[in-house]
Structure 1
Amino acid sequence: MKLKKKYQLLLLSAIVSVPLLLLSIGVLMSVIYNAVFKTKNEHIPFHASFAYPVMLVVFVVSLVVLAVLFSKSISSLLSKINILNRTIRNLASNNKIPNKIEVHSDDEVGELIRSVNLLIERTTYRELELKQQEAMKKELLNKLRHDINTPLTAVRLQLFYLEGQLQEQAPILESLYQQIQYISELTNEIHLQSTDTLESSYILQEEVNIHDVLEIMVQKWGYLYSMREIELLFHPVDQDLIWNCNALWVQRLFDNILQNALKHSKATKLEVTIEDGVVSIRDNGIGFDRNCSREGLGLKIIEDIARMLQIQYTLQSSDGGTLFCAHQINEDKEG
């Protein structure tokens, strides 16, 4: 029920209930007095008896009860507004992103709460996306600096060796030293413009908790999936699955899979499951033909990342949906 209609009915009920309540109490008290107390009170009229002030007290108590009942509706509205106010302020601050608010009504306040929840989902998605991109750029930038400085150090050592043998070429060697120093300083000012090239990337292997990675992925993609009215479910049966890989690149692997399903599957539900050392991502969409849709689905990127991280995967697709299953090759060999 909309707020306008709700408070119109509340006002109408107040206008009707107050005089009706007063009339009912007056009649009831008069009947009770005449039937029970009048003969015992020497036939004193009702308006002159003790029952009249009692009736006035009952009137006042009844009005107070009505005021409390009617004010509860306004208090409930003010409470919701205060919750929305605090949530929006927390969202605008630099603190942790607030939790979504439960919706208990379908009026304008309920619609406003849904809009705030959508804003929270969008903000969560954007912050996680920015943090992931920033971390990936930072790591790749550090590796690029390392890869540049390593050969520069080797060149310095070679020039130091040649310096003792080529005394007459000292000006040239000094110039080379200056150029090496200039390149070394430039690497400290490099701003990585793109992280799309896989083959030239330096991958640092580490132990990665796949449950934590997928939990972040589901939280990040939940907003976009909700916008497409796709139900995104997470079933972490195995919460201790560890892969020896790289957290940023395995996130990119799952990013491509979830992005492909979002754009092309036309599904209504997607389930992410971790069980028995295997990560499975299943949707109930229209499926695809790998031979015809290879380029559009970005399978080349998925294949490259999986190969670099030593992750073996299978991809099954039909008109009833698509199933992606992945596990790490090293774990199978150790088992």
Structure 2
Amino acid sequence: MKLKNKYRLLLFTAVISVPFLLLLISILMTVIYENAFKTKNYDIPFHESFAYTTMLIVFILSLLFLAFLFSNSINSLLNKINILNKTIRNLASDVRIPNKLEVNSNDEIGKLIKSVNLLIERTTYRELELKQQQEIKKELLNKLRHDINTPLTAVRLQLFYLEGQFTDQAPLIESLYQQIDYISELTNEYNIQSTDTLDNSYILNEEVNMHDLLETMVKKWGYLYNMHGIELIYHPLNRELKWISNGLWLQRLFDNIFQNALKHSKADKLEITIEKNVVIIRDNGSGFVIDSKSRGLGLKIIEDIARILQIKYNLQSNERGTLFCFTVENTI
């Protein structure tokens, strides 16, 4: 029921209930007094007896009870508004992204809560995507700095040796020192513009909890899948599965699967399952020809990352959907 109709009904009920309650109590008290107490009270008229005072007390208590019921309805609305206000403020702050709100009604407040939940999903997706990109860039930048500073250190040592051999070339050697320092400073300010290749990158393996990683992925992509009407289902049958791999590049691998399913599969459901030591991702889309030469960049990236991370994966696709199965030898 819409709020407008709900509170119209509430107002109408309040207007009708007060005189009806007054009439009902007066009749009831009169009947009780006439039949049970009048003869014992020396035939004193009702309006002069104790029953009249009792009737007024009962009537006042009834009015207070009605006021309590009606105020509860208004307080419920105010509480929902306060929760929405607090959630939106938390969403605008830099502390953390709030959890989605529970929708208990289909009125205007319920629709507003759904809109706020959609905003939370969108913000979560943007925050996680940005964080992932920043971490990848930071990791590759640190490797690049290391790769540059290593030969620079060797050059400094060679210049130190030459400085003792060619004392008459001190200005030239000093200039070379300055150029080395300049290159070193540049590496500290260098910003990586592209992280599309893995072949020339070093991969630092670590312990990765696959349940935590995939739960983050589902939370991240939930907004876009919800917007496109695709159901995202997560079955963590094995919450303790841990791979010795690289969390950042695993996220990138799964990002490409989620993106391909979203853009090309024409599916209305995507299921992610952790079963034993296998990660299974399945959609119910239209599928594709696996051996086709026109396969997209997304599948090429998936193959490259799986190869670099030494992940074994099986790909199956037909008119009933597409299935990815991932396993690694190094598990905990």
Structure 1 match to 2:226: 226
The reply to whether residue 36 of structure 1 matches residue 36 of structure 2 is yes
Structure 2 match to 1:16: 16
Q: CA shift at 1:297, angstroms? A: 5.7
Q: CA shift at 1:169, angstroms? A: 5.1
Q: CA shift at 1:2, angstroms? A: 0.4
Matched-pair contact (CA < 8 Å) for 1:232–1:270: yes
Q: CA shift at 1:293, angstroms? A: 7.2
User: Partners of 1:276 and 1:48 in 2: how far apart?
Assistant: 84
Matched-pair contact (CA < 8 Å) for 1:285–1:319: yes
Can you list the C-alpha shifts for 1:200-254, whole angstroms capped at 9, x where unaligned?
3222222322222212111111111111122212222222323222211111111
Q: Which amino acid aligns with 2:222?
A: G
Structure 2 match to 1:187: 187
SS of residue paired to 2:99: coil
Can you list the C-alpha shifts for 1:127-166, whole angstroms capped at 9, x where unaligned?
1111111111111100011111112222333444445555
Q: Which amino acid aligns with 1:323?
A: L
Q: CA shift at 1:301, angstroms? A: 0.7
Matched-pair contact (CA < 8 Å) for 1:29–1:51: yes
The reply to whether residue 54 of structure 1 matches residue 54 of structure 2 is yes
SS of residue paired to 1:188: helix
Structure 2 match to 1:78: 78
Structure 2 match to 1:103: 103
Q: Which amino acid aligns with 2:136?
A: M
Structure 2 match to 1:237: 237
Structure 1 match to 2:27: 27
The reply to whether residue 152 of structure 1 matches residue 135 of structure 2 is no
Q: CA shift at 1:193, angstroms? A: 1.5
User: Partners of 1:299 and 1:43 in 2: how far apart?
Assistant: 98
Q: CA shift at 1:184, angstroms? A: 1.5
After TM superposition, the score normalised by the length of structure 2 is 0.93
SS of residue paired to 1:133: helix
Q: Which amino acid aligns with 1:25?
A: I
Structure 1 match to 2:117: 117
The reply to whether residue 283 of structure 1 matches residue 319 of structure 2 is no
Can you list the C-alpha shifts for 1:172-212, whole angstroms capped at 9, x where unaligned?
44433332222112111101122122223222222322222
Q: CA shift at 1:44, angstroms? A: 2.1
User: Partners of 1:207 and 1:20 in 2: how far apart?
Assistant: 72
SS of residue paired to 2:39: coil
User: Partners of 2:197 and 2:314 in 1: how far apart?
Assistant: 24
Q: CA shift at 1:295, angstroms? A: 3.7
User: Partners of 1:313 and 1:64 in 2: how far apart?
Assistant: 69
CA RMSD of aligned residues (A): 2.0
The reply to whether residue 256 of structure 1 matches residue 279 of structure 2 is no
Structure 2 match to 1:322: 322
Structure 2, unmatched stretches of 5+, are none
SS of residue paired to 1:64: helix
After TM superposition, the score normalised by the length of structure 1 is 0.92
Structure 1, unmatched stretches of 5+, are none
